[in-house]
Amino acid sequence: MMLELVSKTQSFDGSQCQYRHRSDVLDCEMRFSVFLPSQAEGEQRFPVLYWLSGLTCTDENFSQKAGAQRMAAELGIVLVIPDTSPRGEEVADDEGYDLGQGAGFYVNATQAPWKPHYQMYDYLVEELPALVEANFPVSDRRAISGHSMGGHGALTIALKNPGRYTSVSAFSPICNPMACPWGEKALASYLGEDKTLWEEYDATVLLSRASERLPMLISQGEEDAFLEEQLKPNALQAAARAAGYPLKLEFHAGYDHSYYFIATFIEQHLRFHADYLLHVD
């Protein structure tokens, strides 16, 4: 699969790059961003943190706003930031910001008109990592993180794939999409009305059934406008307590849903992942 370099910018002696490629899984052209620390110019192979962004975002929001490059460069971690959905004139869309392009919800759609292109789960679990591992100096040690809709994606992907990731974290994730307006709209549209199918993309349900005790960190701002109606971290916390799952959920006074929140605590999250990515038993 051919990669086309779109842009390359030096950052903390490493390289912030954007690439374009044709996705077989999504049947459209896709972009993703990569940060490569300066050490990646040698023979060594580096672990990867996959970052999944939220509603309306592209691969550029995290790259430009989170300030993650400094710590990734210091720790020796590659960052991979995919887009949030398939894109293009041939790809189905919706007038709402919370469905369609920019709102793929990290699921494999089964319903028309979404099914032909909206296979974001397979893209992120299989196609993109294979592409990254074939073209960049990375190892097979992976962690995953995200924000809001991307936090939902990070949690569900990690919980559905035991052994694939060393750790998972999220900022302000949609924790219980079966029980919130964003999730109900997206899951009904992409998967249909059978709610038993929705359970496969609900972190609260998946955590209650999890066989693996993956290190998990969640940061949530107390001034987040979406906290009560859309995000529902307390539901995930209750499921974790019932299952004996070692969830670390931190509430932060004064912080909202924005990238100011992410930029404030991204160092903590990267250090959290480094404890598992960089230390092999």
Catalytic residue ranges: 148, 224, 257
Asked if residues 108 and 117 have their Cβ atoms less than 8 Å apart, the reply is: no
- Burial group, residue 95, by CB count within 10 angstroms (0-12, 13-18, 19+): exposed
CA within 13 Å, CB half, 161:
19
CA within 13 Å, CB half, 234:
6
Task: Lay out the sheet containing 46-52: strands in order across.
Answer: 4-11, 14-23, 28-36, 78-82, 46-52, 138-147, 168-171, 216-221, 247-252
Q: Among candidates 202, 246, 237, which has minimal Cα distance to 106?
A: 202
Asked if residues 106 and 121 have their Cβ atoms less than 8 Å apart, the reply is: yes
Asked if residues 137 and 76 have their Cβ atoms less than 8 Å apart, the reply is: no
- Quick one: CA dihedral 116, 120, 125, 129, positive or negative? positive
